[in-house]
Every structure is written in C-alpha cells, then in structure tokens.
Structure 1
C-alpha cells in the first residue's frame, strides 16, 4: 500500500501538465511548420509525456488486472482530500478501476480539447492534433504493435493530406465559379436593361403611330364633313339656279306678251291697217296663233326635258372639285392602310422579339445550369512531352475541341509507345479483313513520320495503276509486299492503331476514313486532282516562271478554277494564302509555298481551307437535296423522286452522273439501274437518312449553278 502511495504521489506530480497559452496558436504553428520541425517537436513532447504516462514502461491490462494495485477514480493530484482517497484505497484494495495511464491520457485529451474550444477560430484540423499526440504515445509504448499502428496512422495521414490537397485545388475553381456566376448575373442584368430600353422605345414608337393614326382619322372626318358641306351648298345653289331659271322664263313670257300687245296696239292705231283685207288679217292672226301654240309646246317640251339640267360650267367645276376630293380620300386611305400594315408588322416583330427573349433567357438558364468552367489549358505544358515550347506549338490557333483531340493524341501515342503487343481481334465478320488474326501481334513502334511516309507510298502505288481489288485488301497486300508475309499483320495492326489515334494529321485521318469505308477513294483522288489543277493554273499564269503572282492574278486564277464559289469563299482562300484587306493587289505571292507539306504530311492553311470548303459544299448540297425532297429523315424516298430532286437542285447534271448518285444511294450496280420512266423505279424505295449517309461517302458536288427561282 505504501508502494501504491508513493507511486501515486510521483504520478500526480508528473501528471500536472503545464497549460498552454493558447491551444489554437500552437496547433496552427504546428500545421504551418515544415515536416521535419513537426516531427522533432512531436518526438520531444512524446519523450516528455511518455515518461509521465508510461508508468515506468509497465502497462496495466485493465479491466482484467485487479490484483496488484488499485487506481483511484476521478482523482486530482495534490488535492485536499488526498488522504481520504488513500484511505479509501486501503479499505477497498480489490476494487477494479481504470489504469492510471488511461486516465491521464483522457485528462490530457480533455485539457487539450478544452484549450482548443477556448479559441474563436479553431478548426477541425486543429482538433485532430491532440488525438495525433495520443496515438503517437500508443505507438511508442506498444512496441509490439508499433509497425501496425504506424502503418494505420500513415494511411490516415496520407488520406487526410490527399483530401487537403484536393480542397486546396478546388478552392480556385470555387472562386472562379463565383466569378463566372457574377459575370453571368451582370450579363443577365445588362440584357434585361437593354430589353427594357428596347421595349420603352417600341412603346414610344407605338404611341407615336397611334397619334398619327388618330390625326389621320381626324383629317378624314374633317374631309368628310367638308364634302357633306359642299354637297349641301351644291344643292342650295342648284335650287337657287332653278328658281332663277323659272323667274327668267316667266319674265321672258311677260316680255313677249307685252310685245305682242304693243304690236297689236300699234297695228290698231296704224292708219294703213284699215285699208288691209280683214280676211287676210284674220288668216294672219290665225297662223300667228298656231305658231304661238307650237312654240309654247316646244317650250314646254324643253322645260320638261332640260328642267333639271345645270349649266355645263357649273357641272365641270363641281366634277373637278369632286375628283380632287376623291383623290385626297384615296391618298388618305392608302396612307392609313400603309400605317396599319406597318403597325401589324411592328406588333409581329415585337411578339417575335419577346419569344426570342424568352428563348434566350431559358437557354441562358440551361447553360448556367449545365455549364462547367473552361479548362486551364496552360496546365498541360508541364505534362506534354517537350515542355511548354512544344505545347505552345501544338495549341496555337486551336479551340477547346481541337485541344482535346491534341491531348488524346498525346495520351494515345504515349500508350502506343508503352505497348509491346496488340491483342488480335479474331475472325468475326465485323472485323476488317486486314485485322483478322487471333493471338498477340507485335507493336513495331514506328515514328509518326515513318507512318506518314508509309501511307504516302501506299497512295502512290494505289494511284499508279488501276487496282481492281478493294482498298483494305490492297492495303494488306501492300504491307505483305513491303515487309513480307510474316510481319504484314504486325504492321497492319501498328498502322491501324496509329491512324486511329492521330485525327489531326491529314494523311492519317484521310487514309483511315478511306480504309474504314467512311469515304470513297474518289474523294481523296478528286481533291488531289483539284489541288494539282490549281497549281497548274497558277504556273501557267506565272509567265516569268519566278514562282510569284500578284494578288489580282491569284484572284483571277481562283475564280476561273472554281467558278461556282462565292465571293466570300474566294476571299477566304485568298486570306488563307496570305492576302489581307489592307494589302494592295500589286503585292506578290509565292504561290508554290501554298502547296508544300511538312515532314508529317501537314499541308499549308490554303490547302486545308480548300478541303474545309469542299466538305462544307458537300454538306450544303445534301441539305439542299433534303429540302427539295421535303421529307423527314425517317420517311422513304423513291428512286424517281430522288432523281428528280437531283435534277432540280443541279440542272447541269448529266445522266451518267445522276445514275451514279442514285445507284450509290440505293446500293444498286449501274448496270442494274432501271431506265427513267420504267415501272420498276416506282417500286424502289429507301430510307432518306440512309440514302443521304451513302451519298456522303462518295464524291458528290455541284456541277453547275442552280436555276434562280421565279419572282413572286
């Protein structure tokens, strides 16, 4: 019991750990120091604390150990009730309690965690530090289990370090995501402000148009009122003229009556009259009265026939006025109709603008939801073989999609160099004939330049003489002739794997497309013939044979060689050849350099632009064919309808070329093609999408210009 007392006193004095000034500060400094300093400090602390906690190297197997010592529960070294607890310990010698080492470790852990909790910026990383120290004490004291415990600790520390590095790597991405989000929000706000401005302008314009319409309506109403007033005045003038006419007729009648009376009076007073014969006078009077009656009847007839007739001068004046008013009315109607149509067009434009705005907004939301940060391509310069200089050369002028191809080529080429053998693909029907082999095939590991030269030699031999065998069979026979039957299969697999990876290389990609049946040989041959013909035309234009042409001559040669190309396409070719809008037509161009190739078979931008335009023209031609047919891709097209659509979009096609295109679309030999108008034509159908895909394989292009559509 005395032994236990002394051990308790020594342990209590040793277990009084000095409190740290700030647990957070010590742990943060521990994290920021380098690894060697951390290990040195941890080793020093372990030596100090191990001497305090290890109990002289003797560990208690609690709770099974109960015979030799009794450990007081919840004791505090150097406390006032020490003697009482010692007494309790003597009274209960066989009571089971926690080992002293375990209790001191728990107290130490509790103090450390308490110190960490006192800090305001303590993190989970700092809270792990006391647990690390406790685990180190276990590792040092349990010598037997030290390797296993050390491996467990290293595994967890490695995983924590890995997770910490991942968190550090993701922090810039998080900041970049926040920046992109802010930029998108600013763009949305700018678009909304612009839309509000446009809507306000449209509203103002609408109000102006409404004001103009109201003004025109007011002018129309005023003109109508003026016309009504003029009609009323005309009626009044007409009545006035009628009354004047009647008064004039009455006055004339009165004047005639007075004249007749005066004549009668003068005759009666005349002395010579009495000498006349009364019978004769009676007859004269009778005849005169008959003439008066006839004249009166004619006068009544004239009144009845022309009583409502106005004077010609007044009629012409009123007619002219009416004509002017009618012209003004027609002009106002035309102006009103034009304004109404413009208003309808503006309303339609406004509705379409609203729809486009909604569509763009939904697309923006979808892009914001699905978009990912743009990759930092500069990270690849330290990974790609050759360093930053080679990566800069590979990435120059390429977009993200092309850079992905470059990375895939680099990765694929690295994997190819590591492979010593290729597994055979077997003898299945889907396997190309030149790859049918079972077993391992040696990887010859040629350089990229060697593969390009080998493919060029294959093309030269293929084009040198007419070959009746298929291109894959020719390719394998060429390898057998070049490397022998024993190595032909190895070279076939090696070249196939290389050309399948290097999509950016023209020679390899074109050879792969022809070899796998994606293009026919005529596509490659026709393109090479086009380039050769263009070089020949430029050479003919170079009268001095100096290898130089002016930009004007260059433009003329391009237009004469490619008469169907648009001005934009000709300008693209000139810019690819080195012409700039700021340069003059008198500048000289070394045209022979446009057709040169580097050691890996890459042509100049001019030839690449020719190839791109050829592919675009083919796609446009097939798109026009689809539009002319007016059918969906899953619908069936008949042979006569396809023939008619080809002749419509390209009237210059001859019969032989049309038959070639149709036989390719329907996969029929030209010898078995039915004649035009034959009943068999109607029974031949094919899915439109399948027909277009088959036409995409061959060399299909426009022969002549399309006839202009009649003006509506």
Structure 2
C-alpha cells in the first residue's frame, strides 16, 4: 500500500481534470448504505493498485501538463518540490495506470451485467458508480471526510427527490380525475346543445310547413282569379252575340212593319181614289226619308255598334271591382305573410346568434365565476373590528367594498413604510415630486391629511390664483413645514390622497392636483352648495335649524330649476324623505352639510356631486350628437359654437367663449369669430376630454323642435 501523502498528492494532481457528474436515480434501490460497505471492501481487496516507479500513485495523464501547472502555483514546502522533481524525472512514455484500467474494466463489466438484467433501472445503473466512488474514498484517506460529505449530500438530495416524486403521484391521480370530470361536463353541455338544436330544427320545419301552406293558398287564389277572368271573357262573348242577334231582329221587325203598312195602303179603298201624282210624290218623299233614316241607322250602328248596355256595363264593372278588391286583399295578405316570414327568419337568425353568444358567455362565466364573497369576514382583520367594518360597509356595493378594503390594506402598508423612493427629475414627474433619493414618510393620520387639505383650499381661495395649482401646493407645504420637509410632506400627502379614493376631499384634491379636473369645478360646486344652504337658512324664519319637506322641495326646485322630478326625488330621499312620510314633517337641514373628522360628506352632498357628473356627461353626449362627428374627426371653433348654441340657446357669450377656450386650449382673445376663416382645429375626442375636465353645465332649457 502507498503512503497517505503519496495518494493525496497524486489525487491533487488528478483533480485538475473534469470527472463525470450526477446521474438521475429511481427509488427502487434494494440495498441500504450499511449493507453496501462490506461488499465494497470485499470488491476493493480484489483490485490491485498500480504503483509508479517512485512508490507513488501514477499521475497519468498529468505528465504532459503537470510541469506547467506547477510553475504557476505558489511556493510550497520542500516535500512539494521533491514531488515535483520526481514527476519531472519520470519518462515521457508512461502508459495508463493499471489501477485505473482495472477500475474501468470493473465498471464496464458491472454496467454490462446491469444492462443484461430484465428489470434494470437507473438506480441499479448508479450502483457501480457508487462502488467506484467508495474505492476512491477508501484509497484517499486524507480526503475521505470531504468525499464522504459530498457523497452524503448527493444521497440526501436523491432521497429528497424520491420523496418529492412520491408526493406528486397523488396529485397526478387527482389531475386525471379532474380531467375526466371536465370531459363529462363538456359532454353534458354538448348533449344539451344538441337537444336545443333539435328543437330549433323542429321549429324551422314547422315554419317551412306554414310557408308551404301559404304558398298553396296563393296558388289556389291565383287559379280562382284566372277562372273568373275566363268566365268574364265568356260572358262578354255571349253578350256580343246577343247584341248582334238583337240588331238583326230589329231589322226584321222594321221590314215586317213596312210591309204591313204597304199592304194596308194597298188594301185601303181610299187609296185608289187618290191622285197618282200625289201618290208618286208621297212615295218619292217617303223613299227619301227612308234613305235618310237608313243612313242615320248605319251611322248609329257604326258609332254605337260595340257599345254594351249600361246595365250590363255596370254589372260587369261591379263584378270587376269586387274581384279587384279580392285580389288586392289577397296581395296584402300575401305581402303580410311574406314580411312575417322574413321577420321570423331574422328572429331565427338573431336567436341563433344570441344562443351562440349566451353559450360562449356561459362557458366564460363557468371558467371565471367565483362565489360571492362573505364581506363579514373582513370585520376580523380590519382595524376597529366588526363594528367599524359595519360602519364602513353600510350602503355600499361590492365594488365600493373592494375599494374600502383596499384602502384599509393600503393604509396599513403605507404606515409600515419609513421612506418613499424618489421618482427623479423627469418631465413626466409632477413638479412637487421631483426628487432623487429616499424620502421620509411623515405618517400622518387621515384626519391630519384632511385638515391640511382644507387649509390648502382656504389659502388657495383667498389668493388671486396666479400660479398653477401644483406649484401652489408645493409652495404651501414650504410655507407650512419649511423647505427641508416640504418634499417629504409632498410625497406623504400624494401617497395618501392617491390611496383614499372614497374620501371626497382627498379624491377631489387628487383630481385637481393631477390635472384631471379644473379648480373651477370644485369651487363652483362648493359655491352651489353654499347657496343652497343660504336659501334654507332664509326659509328658516325661526332660526331653529328646521324646515319642512315641502319647503325643502321648493328650495331645491328654485335653486336647481333644470333638474327633473326624478333628480329632485333622489335628493329628497338622500336627505331622509320617504314616500310614506308627510310633507309637513320637520328635519334638521344643517346636518345635510356636515362632514366627519375624516372629511367624508353626508349622502345628500354626495348625491349632488353624483348628479352633477351625470348631467355633465349627458350634456357632452348631446353636444356630440349635435355635431354628428366621430371621435377621430376634427372639429373647428365655429362648428362647436353653433352646436353649443343649438343645445343651449340661453348660453351667454362669456361662458360660450370660456367653453371654446377650454376645448381648444387657447386664450379667449385668440378665438376666431364665427364668420372668419378658421385654421384652428382639434380632434373631437381631445375637445370632449378637455370639456369633461372643466366646469361645463347647461345654462337653460333647450327649445322644443317645433318652436325652433
């Protein structure tokens, strides 16, 4: 056996070359670590070790580069130099060590035996490599703890992977079960769709049968009309034949009458006693009358030979009129049936589209639907307990409750922050937030923030408003807290008002500060509420703070004459009026305008603000409809001026110019006149967004269409 030092040195030389890495294993290895070690020692005894000439393990194949590597190493002890010189004295033609060849042959045989097995696995293929690694651990005593720890680490990782694979097998079975369940649901839905399709097909067949029946009725009516026309033609021919026979009969009767008269004259005894000249003259005159009468008769025949008797004409005309009415009625019935058929087809197509749409929506809902949340659970996690959560959630829908919950969570996270990250000095950053570096969180209460915002509004209303609102806000903070703490308070106030959107004062201040709403909107709304309170105070003659509901309704209608009855009723209900209550009941009107310590207004003031927003949206939508343009089209000041005057005829010139200035973002002095050539245009969508930010409202009622 070689000394530990020689084995350690040879191992240090050989570890500079890469060795094979880990192998994937299975959990079917039958033997434990305790039973493996005796077998490994028995096998190790059968493997002789090949020594080098100098009594050390051979450094093959490091003889080619060992010298260069040793030159780059740091200076070592004399033993290292001796070993280096002994290696340098070795001949260049050293073959592969016998010990290495025996290890490779042993590994090859073991792998071959494993591959010949019927149930060989990756765990069995890993066993020969483990044995080789055990040989190295037993040979290199100095590095045995390190190599043993490496082997134990890999064994622990392999055991962990086995346990993880076993844990994932139930999940795989559960996944298969869920897949089968989903397939069954899909098959059930398809069966339901097939049943619905069959029902629609039956309905279609019934409609087709109805259409065939109507077509048959139409064909029968057409055949009846053709039959009536044929009968009319036959009657007409019969009447013509009768007319001709009548004419012939009249001619025969006239001829017989003439013959009878001639015979009576010939048989009369007084005729022979007459003068022949007189008789000749009478005969001549009679013949002339006969010729004239014959000519008149021929003229009458030529003119009125084809004339039908009036009675027959009227009878045929009446029959024709009846048939025409029947035909028109049948045509109307046919047109109505045809229209009904088209409507039914359209309804059928619409039903199919709706069926497909509802089916897709049903699938989306089934995939994305979630159970309705139990909001009472939030009372256990919100600060203040269930009582405070009940106060916060009163009268709010699910969307508003989500906002309230997010505010509560965000407030907790905001108080945990000690510093805010600076946003830098970019152009997109508001001026009062331009700072680079961490900013201290002052952590004020919500009450302190509301009080600070109220003071800022008071100071803003007291000055002339020459500077922009963001600059004023930062200057106000500098005057209040000093230049050193102004930026910290700016970040703190900004994060608070951005979080608490349900708070009226914070949300309105945030909208004005970020340019989403002009100051005039907030100021005019406050003035309107103050004017309403003033009217109520004037109506309170006893100065007791009480008025009747009837007085309250009258004041609302006089202060807001453009509000309809529905909006007036909403305001009265927000003030506490109920349909069953009497109009003579007194109530405290001053409580409608109070605010709590956190700046939250009463429902009446909130309803006023909500109605103001709705009325502005309706006014702008009416303006868009009057313009008749799409949002991507351009609009000029003249078009917008005419549209505003159409929907709001009582709008004065000052407010009109103010609206145009805000819509086109230019000063009032630069606005062109209505009859001038305008080169100022802007996108309709941009103009509508600017008007929505400003204080736009109706001044007077729109004139009715008949009057205009």
TM over 0.5, shorter chain: yes
Give the whole-Å Cα distance in 2 for the aligned partners of 1:540 and 1:173.
Answer: 74
Counterpart in the other structure of 1:357: 355
**1: CA distance between counterparts of 2:696 and 2:302?**
89
Q: Which of 364, 370, 373 is the equivalent residue of 2:370? A: 373
Aligned to 1:695: 691
Tell me the residue number matched to 2:234: 232
The aligned residue for residue 605 of structure 1 is 603
SS at match of 2:682: strand
Residue 457 (structure 1) shift: 2.7
SS in 2 for 1:504: coil
Deviation for aligned residue 1:463: 2.9
The SS at the match of 2:408 is helix
Q: Could you tell me how far apart the structure 1 residues matched to 2:218 and 2:568 are? A: 52
In structure 2, relative to structure 1, the CA distance for the partners of 1:467 and 1:179 (3 Å cut) is farther
Mapped pair 1:391 → 2:393: no
Specify every segment of 5 or more residues in structure 1 that has no aligned partner in the other structure, as ranges: 1-52, 68-141
1:446 match: 444
Tell me, in whole angstroms, the C-alpha distance in 1 between the residues paired with 2:186 and 2:703: 47
State how far apart, in whole Å, the 1-side matches of 2:587 and 2:207 are.
Answer: 57
Partner residue of 2:680?
A: 684
Tell me how far apart the structure 2 counterparts of residues 63 and 708 of structure 1 sit (CA, whole Å): 110
Deviation at 1:301, TM superposition (A): 1.9
Distance in 2 between the 1:228 and 1:515 partners? 91
Which position in structure 1 is the counterpart of 2:615?
Answer: 617
Change (3 A) 1:599 1:256: farther
The answer on whether the counterparts of 1:542 and 1:549 sit within 8 Å (CA) in structure 2 is no
- How far is 1:566 from its partner? 5.3
Q: How big is the shift at 1:278?
A: 2.8
User: Secondary structure, in 3 states, of the residue corresponding to 1:517?
Assistant: coil
- Normalising by the residue count of structure 1, what TM-score does the alignment of the two structures yield? 0.67
C-alpha contact 1:213 1:339 (8 A) present in aligned 2: no
Question: Cα 1:62–1:190, aligned 2, differ >3 Å: closer, same or farther?
Answer: closer
Measured after TM superposition, the shift of residue 65 of structure 1 is 12
Q: CA deviation at 1:626?
A: 4.4
Query: Deviation of residue 522 (structure 1)?
Result: 1.4
Matching residue of 2:516: 518
Pick the aligned partner of 2:504 from 503, 506, 527.
506
The Cα of 1:245 is off from its aligned counterpart by: 3.5
Q: 1:645 to 1:209 in 2, by over 3 A?
A: farther
Return the offset for 1:584.
6.3
Paired position in structure 2 for 1:262? 264
In structure 2, the residue matched to 1:287 is: 285
Q: In the TM superposition, what is the alpha-carbon distance from 1:294 to its structure 2 partner?
A: 1.8
Quote the RMSD (CA, aligned, Å): 5.1
Distance in 2 between residues matched to 1:265 and 1:384, nearest whole Å? 145
- The answer as to whether partners of 1:538 and 1:557 remain within 8 angstroms in 2 is yes
In the alignment, is the contact (CA less than 8 A) between 1:538 and 1:591 conserved in 2?
Answer: no
Map residues 43-54 of structure 1 onto 2, 5 A cutoff. none
Change over 3 Å in CA distance of 1:66–1:205 after alignment to 2: closer
Structure 2 match to 1:244: 246
Structure 2: segments with no counterpart, 5+ residues = 1-33, 46-144
Q: State the shift of 1:484 in Å.
A: 4.6
Instruction: Tell me the residue number matched to 1:338.
Output: 336
**Contact residue 639 and residue 684 of structure 1 kept, 8 A:** yes
Partner Cα separation in structure 2 for residue 553 and residue 219 of structure 1: 73
Shift in Å, 1:450: 1.9
- Which digits, 9 at most, give the CA deviation of each residue in 1:33-79, with x for residues without a partner? xxxxxxxxxxxxxxxxxxxx99xxxx999759999xxxxxxxxxxxx
Q: CA deviation at 1:516?
A: 1.3
Closer, same or farther in 2 for the Cα pair 1:201/1:531, shift >3 Å? Answer: farther
Q: Return the TM-score normalized by structure 2.
A: 0.67
Q: Specify whether residues 561 and 227 from structure 1 end up closer, same or farther in structure 2 by C-alpha distance, changes over 3 A only.
A: farther
Rounded to whole Å, the distance in 2 between the matches of 1:625 and 1:284 is 103
Structure 1 residues 88-140: Cα deviation after superposition (integer angstroms, max 9, x where no partner): xxxxxxxxxxxxxxxxxxxxxxxxxxxxxxxxxxxxxxxxxxxxxxxxxxxxx
- Aligned in 2, Cα 1:382/1:190: closer, same or farther, shift over 3 Å? farther
In structure 1, the residue matched to 2:489 is 491
Following TM superposition, by how much is the alpha carbon of 1:442 offset from its aligned partner in structure 2, in angstroms?
Answer: 3.9
Specify the alignment match of 1:320 in structure 2.
Answer: 318
**How far apart, CA to CA, are the structure 2 residues paired with 1:253 and 1:647?**
95
Pick one of 432, 435, 446 that aligns with 1:434: 432
CA distance in 2, matches of 1:577, 1:172: 57
The alpha carbon displacement at 1:258 in A equals 1.1
For residues 589 and 342 of structure 1, do their structure 2 counterparts lie closer, same or farther at Cα, with a shift above 3 Å needed?
farther
Q: Is the 1:549–1:591 Cα contact (8 Å) retained in structure 2?
A: no
What is the CA–CA distance in structure 1 between the aligned matches of 2:289 and 2:203, rounded to whole Å?
Answer: 86
Give the superposition deviation at 1:201.
Answer: 5.2
Task: Rate the CA distance shift 1:297–1:404 in 2: closer, same or farther, 3 A.
Answer: same
Instruction: From the superposition, tell whether residues 438 and 334 of structure 1 become closer, same or farther in structure 2 (CA, over 3 Å).
Output: same
Distance 1:206 1:653, change over 3 A: farther
